[in-house]
Amino acid sequence: MRYKKFGNTDMNVSVITVGTWAIGGQRWGDVDEKNSIAAIHAMLDNGVNFIDTAPVYGYGYSEEVVGKAIKGRDRGKFYISNKFGLTWPDGPGTPVIRNASYENAMREVDVSLKLLGTDYMDLYIVHWPDVREMDTKAPASETMRALEDLKKAGKIRYIGVSNYSQEQIEEISQYGVVDAMQPPYSMVNRSAEDLMKWAHNRGIANMTYGSLGAGILTGTIRSIPDWPENDIRLTFYDFYKEPKFSKVMELLKTLDSIAQAHNRPVSQVSLNWSTQTPFVNTALVGVRNAAEANENCAAFDWELSADEYKRITKAIDETLGK
């Protein structure tokens, strides 16, 4: 496994992080708890030392699975990243609203710690900016005050934001230090690249999600899948719709060539490209079973040459642009 310093923090993190959105099970196809726990164990056993989760991933189910997976493990050997700010006041399965208020942060953190079976989280992230009506929206000052108070209480160590713009990060940074951000980033989605470079230059760590493009960059999907219309891979991402799908298939020809030269799967080419990008500190990777975990971690037994990295980047520019 390879490791990178996590921005200005004292954390030295594996270049991939266990992503647990899919194991929450909500609109991600079939998910098996036993396999999910085995996948997390395999990632940790292969040297991955970072796990990311969120309450909204299965309405607490993902946190519960992570809690079972880490039970009995040395808590000092790995880091946990969690989030707050998305709530479902009318119960699981009902509309999710954004709420980054002080009161909600204090409520969510205790629920999450209990489900995870730990007394602290290394990184606590505002999942989305609060965009409610002005009379109910939590101002950035209130959100940061909650996070700073949680640090003082020893319940969290560092502060992060997800899906924030540069302007929103600058605003909340007036009231405290943002240590990390979590943007979408992969070969098929470089929309946050300029923001990531800006953050990196300021010591704000980048932990990217969607690193394998919801599976499209594994090379195992070569035709548009027949998934239910509400599958999250269809509703949240645009990779599985035309005209982008055909463009990604064209990009895969370059990845296939490099994968064959190394006798490795396409997924490992994709992971190496992301993690060899200088301004990526760690890339979230979702896994459903131990076999997937082992294959993903084996990506770091080798690396792309400088010429291969440039060749892939050129192919991305030519097929997808930024």
The superfamily CATH assigns to domain 3-216+268-302 is: NADP-dependent oxidoreductase domain (3.20.20.100)
DSSP string, 256-292: HHHHHHHT--HHHHHHHHHHTSTT-SEEEEE-SSHHH
> Do 34 and 41 meet the contact criterion of CB atoms below 8 Å apart?
no
DSSP string, 211-243: TTGGGGGGS---S-----TT-HHHHT-STTSTT
Domain locations in the chain as residue ranges = 3-216+268-302
| pLDDT value at residue 134 | 66
| pLDDT value at residue 231 | 80
Catalytic status, residue 59:
no
pLDDT tens, N- to C-terminus, the chain (322 residues): 999 999 999 999 999 999 998 776 554 456 789 999 999 999 999 999 999 999 999 899 999 999 999 999 999 999 999 999 999 988 888 889 999 999 999 999 999 999 999 999 999 999 999 977 666 789 999 999 999 999 999 999 999 999 999 999 999 999 999 999 999 999 999 999 999 999 999 999 999 999 998 889 999 989 988 888 878 778 878 888 899 999 999 999 999 999 999 999 999 999 999 999 999 999 999 888 999 999 999 999 999 999 999 999 999 999 987 6
Per the DSSP assignment, residues forming a β-bridge with 209 are 184
- 3, 57, 102, 124: which one is catalytic? 57
pTM of the model: 0.92
